[in-house]
A and B are shown apart, each in its own frame.
Chain A
Amino acid sequence: MPQPHEETKLPLLLTVGGRSQQNLWKPLSEHVQLVFADQPAANHAASMGLRVGLVGNAMTPAMIEHAKARAIWLCDGVLDQLVDKDLALDQAMEHLRSPHLANWLLPMVFDEATQALIRVLAADTFMQDEGRYVAILLHEDVTSEGQAFAQFGRMSGIPVLHIPHANHFIEAGTDDIHCRHSSDFIGAYGLHMAEWYEACGVPPETISLIGGAQWDPLYDPERLLTKEHARRALGLWDDDFIIGYATTWYQDTNVWGSSDDLEWAFQRFMRACVKLGAQPVVKVHPGETDEHVRHYAAAMRAHRLRGTVTSWHSEYAILASDVFIVQGPSNFGVEVSILGRPLMEMFIPSARYPEKYGIPGTWGDDLEDVLQAVRDTTPGRDFVKAMNFGDDGGAAERAAQWIMDRAKLE
């Protein structure tokens, strides 16, 4: 079990974890001791044979009670504001306005404030060793955890390094919360990400191109499967036309239409498979549940389609497919492109791949035509390079060096 600040003479690097950065942990551990803010990530790193620390281990029940007490005090303040009618709530919707308001807003604020304050206290314990920390590494800086450590780092003069775990495909510079930024430096996956953050107001001199370390394994020829193997492992037939489909999930931080739109698109995909005589392989988004898996499988059965639904095994799904559809632009499509499979996009509201890279897309009415046209194509390497700088499997090495440089370590 990871301990806070195990005995080591190495300088400390705090990270909130994030599996997208796990390929960095080993090279970084040669120079720093990683201290995680996230228990599962710390356990995962420890299982890789790395000596790691854990910030949260220093939390005591008394500190958590203290956080709750402070949260109640903050909620009082919110209530005062409500009495002053300072909050612009929607009076048109019956379920939102007072007296229902107190039923949902205060518990919500209490809950969020408690979580945030616990994180502040956790971050505070890490600050006790402030002098030994050389950098804070984030994979996002918008949630309360990422925000807490970004703020502490900046208050303490510790460099806050952000390697975003995903490319964004919403319009840059909008009021979307992802356009906010709190770090000192950004290590961008590629030119697209760099330009996106620049458009959101990040000074270009603080952005470096490093590539996506999470994709390095996709460049390892010893790891990659043949199409034949991938199909057999997924129970698919060798000679059939296989169409892959990567689902997405309905998020409430951006408004991308509704969950009905996503179901419509999936049903449209089912019909395309029937018309084209294709077998579907559905890769379920990590944000979706087992219930979704069962639903997709049942829908396939209802359409009498032979195929596979998986929430894991991305590479198998991609390599087994003749063409892959992504529901909305996503990093998954970048993986499809790295592996050289034909890619197309089923549009969702508010986001899309940059048009200049020519990834074919449709709202769905002409899906069969687009699939046929895409089938024998390969996404341009310029798309891959823009999304994954270097396009060579060497991102972890570059990222580790980038971190060491900013942490001013040899």
Chain B
Amino acid sequence: MYSLKSALDWAHPEVQTKLGWADVIVFQRNVLFEGCWNAQDYWRVLGKIILVDLDDGYSCIPASNPAFPHWILNTVQLEPTPVKALEEGLRHADALIAPNEVILKDWAHVVKGYMWRNYPSVLDYKDRVPREHVSPDIDFSYPPAIELKALAPEDLPPLLQKPRPGSEGQIVIGWGGSISHLDSFVYSGVIEGLARVLTEFPNVVFKFCGNDERLDPLWKKLPERQFVRQSGVLPRGHWPLVVSTFNIGIAPMDMRLVEGQTETNVNDYSYDERRSALKLTEYLCAGVPFVATDCQPYRELGRFGKLVQNTGDAWYEALKSRIESLGFFREEALTNRKWALKKMTIEGNADRLVRLYMRIGEETQAKAGLKLPMTAFVDPKPEDEIDEALKPEIGPASYSGDPHRVGRAAYSVKASEIAASVAKKPWLTMDGVDVGAMMSYSLVSRLNQIYREAEQKTDAPAA
């Protein structure tokens, strides 16, 4: 993995060597500058397959999203504007990859798109044990003054783990995410549903794992003592520890329709419906039962949990049923987890991703006019001479009726009889093996052939 800056510096000898090995180069998201487009073109000309990976609906990003000023208000004064620049960047790619079908539709007028899910690593999940609610919940933190962003997962410092006082016996409904989910909570009805179940079940808490302080007023609608905050979303290697403390995971989505703001005019989905299904995938891999908004990206995995319409009642009913039958849903989630750790992880899909890249490569070559080997292409020209013998007059079909009842030539039976006669002799054995039976297939075939040729010779007029 290289920074975008490396790819752009394609004339540098070290970049030449390192990226020169690649067959496929994936540019993530920010193909917004002429320098990017030049780099994309350069590597493409060398025969690399150039992909752009988008994981968000940038063209219709809402005002509540911290990236709105950049993408929509164009605060950095890009010319063309970021969305137009992204479109241009996509024109310099062989394909778009996104974890969401709607994103692919948004850009279908520019470039061919391929769906590829976001998968977690099995290494991060396989040893996690989903918390039973009788056990204490854990609060995770790092030693102060560590800049986590700069650290690779394997270099993360040891995580400090502290049991949360009084949490034994508490059922934890959890959610974790970035600061782009304000609308998901405001417009999904989940707060109303949560407030009702927390009030009804005093042993249930809601655990929020995020940094968006704009949500704080919403939490005031929940019973104060049943709201728990886990600061931040921990880096990849440690995040599964937090997910595994949830007894029920939630994934609310804002379903207000927005215009896609691209030329394909995809106007019947919300902005949130341009997100990935990573949350559900993480819940599955962690063995956590979940309730989520019924939306496009969640439809496929929804069968492993519960998808609800965005009303307070629907959230309440779904959460309540999971709380009341927690044992059953936990067992179900543990069964689903076994499947997910095989099928929904990076490791379980690596071969598929390679095949997808190969397919994109083949399609790119086909578009460029390359054709398959071991194939005869026929494109006759008017001036070509015609071999009339290859275009003989033909009469009607020789047969009619049920194919099973026609066409059995006499010599087949004769050939079988002779083969059996030769092969079934008792002296055609060796070390107890019936050599005659071994020879039957070839004998029948060759005798038939001889019969057929003899018949043709007999039928032929004398020379």
Contacts and interface: CB of A to CB of B under 8 A. Distances in A.
Interface of A: 70, 74, 77-78, 81, 86-90, 93-96, 104, 108-109, 112-113, 115-117, 119-120, 123-124, 142-144, 147-148, 151-152, 155, 170-171, 175, 177, 180, 182, 220, 222-226, 229, 232-235, 251-258, 261, 264, 267-268, 270-271, 293-313, 316, 347-352, 361, 363-365
B386 A304 contact: yes
Nearest to A284: B376
B134 interface: no
Given A233-B362, A302-B388, A87 B418 contact: yes
A70 B430 CA distance: 9
Contacts, number: 252
Nearest to A87: B421
A99 to B, nearest CB: 14
Nearest to B398: A261
Contact of A222 (B356, B397, B458): B356
B355 A252 contact: no
Contacts of A222: 114, 352-353, 355-356, 359
A311 B440 CA distance: 30
Contacts of B448: 252-253, 255
Contacts of A232: 366-367, 369, 371
A222 B116 CA distance: 9
Contact of B416 (A95, A104, A175): A175
Most chain B beta carbons < 10 A, residue from A113, A297, A316 = A113
A274 to B, nearest CB: 10
Given A252-B445, A301-B384, A86 B391 contact: no
Nearest to B452: A252
B294 to A, nearest CB: 23
B162 interface: no
Most chain B beta carbons < 10 A, residue from A77, A109, A112, A261 = A112
Most chain A beta carbons < 10 A, residue from B403, B428, B437, B443 = B403
Contact of A233 (B371, B388, B399): B371
Contacts of A365: 396-397
A224 to B, nearest CB: 8
A261 B377 CA distance: 25
B379 interface: yes
A308 B403 contact: no
A294 B376 contact: yes
A91 to B, nearest CB: 11
Contacts of B404: 170-171, 350-352
Contacts of B21: none
A408 B105 CA distance: 50
A113 B454 contact: no
Contacts of B363: 225-226, 229
B380 A301 contact: yes
A143 B391 CA distance: 38
Contacts of A175: 413, 416
B445 A299 contact: no
B432 A155 contact: yes
B438 A311 contact: no
B408 to A, nearest CB: 6
Interface of B: 114, 352-353, 355-356, 359, 362-363, 365-367, 369-372, 374-380, 384, 386-388, 390-392, 394, 396-400, 402-404, 406-409, 411-414, 416-418, 421-422, 425, 427-428, 430-435, 437-455, 457-458
A120 B433 contact: yes
Most chain B beta carbons < 10 A, residue from A81, A232, A305 = A232
A77 B428 contact: yes
Contact of B431 (A104, A109, A113, A124): A124
A403 to B, nearest CB: 20
Contact of B397 (A254, A264, A301): A264
Contacts of B435: 74, 113, 116-117, 120
Contacts of B384: 301, 304
Contacts of A108: 443, 446-447, 450
Contacts of B397: 264, 268, 363-365
A144 B431 contact: no
A153 to B, nearest CB: 11
A299 B390 contact: yes
Nearest to B115: A221
Contacts of B386: 301-302, 304
A264 to B, nearest CB: 6
Given A171-B404, A310-B375, A144 B409 contact: no
29 contacts: A94-B458, A96-B454, A116-B435, A120-B431, A120-B435, A143-B441, A144-B441, A147-B440, A155-B433, A170-B404, A177-B441, A180-B440, A222-B359, A232-B371, A233-B365, A233-B366, A233-B372, A252-B448, A253-B445, A254-B412, A255-B409, A255-B411, A264-B398, A299-B391, A301-B386, A306-B378, A308-B378, A310-B374, A349-B408
A306 B376 CA distance: 11
A256 B451 contact: no
Most chain B beta carbons < 10 A, residue from A86, A252, A352 = A252
B398 to A, nearest CB: 6
B391 A93 contact: no
Given A348-B407, A349-B408, A350-B408, 6 more contacts: A95-B453, A116-B435, A252-B445, A255-B412, A349-B407, A364-B397
Given A117-B430, A222-B356, A229 B375 contact: no
Given A151-B437, A312-B375, A349-B406, A81 B425 contact: yes
B376 A255 contact: no
Contact of B377 (A77, A271, A308, A348): A308
